[in-house]
């Protein structure tokens, strides 16, 4: 086998490995999904910050495959559905998991 063939095979093997490593699984996001989820998380945080009644610094936002998880604290029970509704309005959000508590 020539040096060029060996190099081509090695390079092809690395390319295949890189593609497999970035492939999504049920418990892991692909690169594109990770970027999309990061954008969703940022938009949800911005919506929470824009609401003067919610203390956005006390609400954590995580997104995995379009599912947003809200956790942390709000000051009154009425703010929980408000925060969930704000998250649901964001494009790309498939569902919202609510783990907010009243403090």
pLDDT in tens, 74-84: 999 999 999 99
Say how far apart CA 57 and CA 49 lie, in whole Å.
8
Report which of 83, 23, 22 is spatially closest to residue 56, judged by C-alpha positions.
83
Mind listing the pLDDT tens digit for each residue in 60-70? 999 999 999 99
Q: Can you give the pLDDT at residue 27?
A: 63
Q: Can you give the pLDDT at residue 87?
A: 97
Q: Can you give the pLDDT at residue 21?
A: 58
């Amino acid at each position: 086998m020539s040096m060029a063939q060996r190099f081509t095979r090695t390079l092809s093997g690395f390319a295949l490995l890189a593609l497999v490593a970035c492939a999504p699984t049920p418990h892991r996001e692909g690169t594109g999904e990770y970027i999309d989820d990061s954008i969703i998380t940022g938009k949800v945080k911005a919506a929470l910050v824009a609401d003067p009644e919610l203390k956005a610094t006390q609400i954590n936002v995580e997104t995995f495959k379009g599912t947003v998880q809200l956790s942390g604290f709000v000051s009154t029970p009425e703010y929980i559905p408000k925060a969930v509704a704000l998250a649901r309005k964001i494009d790309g959000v498939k569902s919202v998991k609510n783990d907010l508590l009243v403090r």
